[in-house]
Amino acid sequence: MDIYLVGGAVRDKLLGRPVTDHDHVVVGATPDDLLALGYRPVGKDFPVFLHPHTGEEHALARTERKTGRGYHGFLFQADPTITLEQDLARRDLTINAIAQDEHGALTDPYQGMRDIEARVLRHVSPAFVEDPVRVLRVARFAARFAPLGFTVADETMALMQQMVRDGEVDHLVPERVWAETRKALGEAQPSAFVRVLRECGALAVLFPELDALYGVPQRAEFHPEVDTGVHLEMVLDAAARIAPGNDLVGFCALLHDLGKALTPADELPHHAGHEHRGFAPLRALVERLKVPVEYAALAEQVCREHLNAHRAFELKPATVLKLFAGLDALRRPERLDVFLAACEADKRGRLGHENDAYPQADYLRQARASAAAVSATTFVTQGLSGPAIGKAMEAARIEAIAALKTEHT
């Protein structure tokens, strides 16, 4: 029985990146062999075990054969005759198909180290086309490694385009699309995820609401990049810089301008009311992908209120308080932080404006703090009760925000 470190752990070591997960493949063993050594079984579709001491995953070497559409349509074979090279052959990208033995020696039958050096995301074998999830994974890896100069190999992109034409991507289940998207939005350059999906044609299939933004013009004096799709990409990357690893901020950034694709042609390049037009496509997307409630709710608030955030200094104190109420920000200040990060990304996601200041964020945080400092105790002491307390608190909060606004003007 031989055990090898495989996948992301080996890849990230070679790239000099932090290693978080250690996955292993076991060659020349049976499930009974591992059970006898105290390994705990966890795999349902194929034999995966947890090491009795480290808890790290150990999977028996296996092969897989396509038996149907989608990513569930596979037949797995795991037995002691499967070689390390056979196991590595079923992996998606060459950079993920490198193994390391206990002495540190590397096995690299598919030239993954060459592609790491060349900064290329390349498929291992023609079997790549059998699993549509790989389209999403390649796009996600592009989002992670684009800052290092990685690009998708031409032949891999051609295979992905073929998969889209063959309808394989149509069979992806919502949960898997969401899981990969969420991970991509937490990467360093999420725009690469969108670009790769668009280039292979999968964006129009999986995210038609996003694909529709490309080619839609905006006013050049406000958006020098003009194209709304390009603006989306810039906002995503700005969000990744402002809130690194925060996929919730990334998701809000992703959906903030969907309404611009629905602006009547005779109104272009103006987009008056685009925030309200964005509700329908936003709700359609989150329902289709079964997006978690908190993500859907905050994304809709950013869609609805991002222009108000930009105009924060011009808003009436009562409007500011209403904004906080919609976010439930008085009770949950972290929601305001997510909202403001996404709005700042929108403001900075424009050509030539990447480093603009966003003083609106500090002002709105201070306004929230001032409003939250108003306590019911004061009005109970004055003898008020019931609804009268709520009305008095609202008036006091508006007054507190007004006082702060005076300081900022």
Domains of the chain: 1-112 (3.30.460.10)
DSSP secondary structure letters along 253-290: HHHTTGGGGGS-GGGTT--TTHHHHTHHHHHHHHHHTT
Is residue 70 pLDDT above 70, yes or no? no
* Weakest mean pLDDT among 138-142, 255-259, 369-373, 385-389: 385-389
H or E stretch covering 115: helix 112-118
pLDDT (0 to 100) of residue 383: 79
Q: Which pLDDT does position 73 carry in this prediction?
A: 52
Q: What's the pLDDT at 407?
A: 81
- Predicted pLDDT at 377: 81
pLDDT-based confidence at residue 105 (cuts at 50, 70, 90): very high
The predicted structure's pLDDT at residue 388: 87
27-61, pLDDT tens digit by residue?
A: 999 888 999 999 998 867 678 999 999 889 999 98
Mean pLDDT, range 363-377, rounded to an integer: 93
pLDDT > 80? residue 225: yes
The tens digit of pLDDT for each residue in 277-319 reads 999 999 999 999 999 999 999 999 999 999 999 999 999 999 9
Q: Give buried/exposed letters for 138-160 (b at 16+ CB in 10 A, else e).
A: bbbbbbbbbeeebbbbeebbebb
Mean pLDDT over the full length of the chain: 93
The three-state DSSP-derived secondary structure of 2-59 is: EEEEECHHHHHHHHCCCCCCCEEEEECCCHHHHHHCCCEECCCCCCEEECCCCCCEEE
Q: Could you please report the per-residue DSSP string of 54-101?
A: T--EEEE--EEEE-SSSSS-EEEE--TT--HHHHHHTSSBGGG--EE-
Q: Phi first, then psi: give them for residue 193, nearest 5 degrees.
A: -60, -50
- Distance from C-alpha of 285 to C-alpha of 296, rounded to nearest angstrom: 9
Percent of the chain with pLDDT over 90: 81
What's the whole-model pTM score?
A: 0.90
Cα gap 185→178, rounded to integer Å: 10
C-alpha count within 13 angstroms, C-beta hemisphere, residue 312: 25
- pLDDT tier for residue 65 given thresholds of 50, 70 and 90: low
Residue 405 has pLDDT above 80, yes or no: yes
d(CA 266, CA 115): 48
Question: Cα separation of 366 and 401, whole Å?
Answer: 9
| pLDDT attached to residue 68 | 57
**229: pLDDT strictly greater than 60:** yes
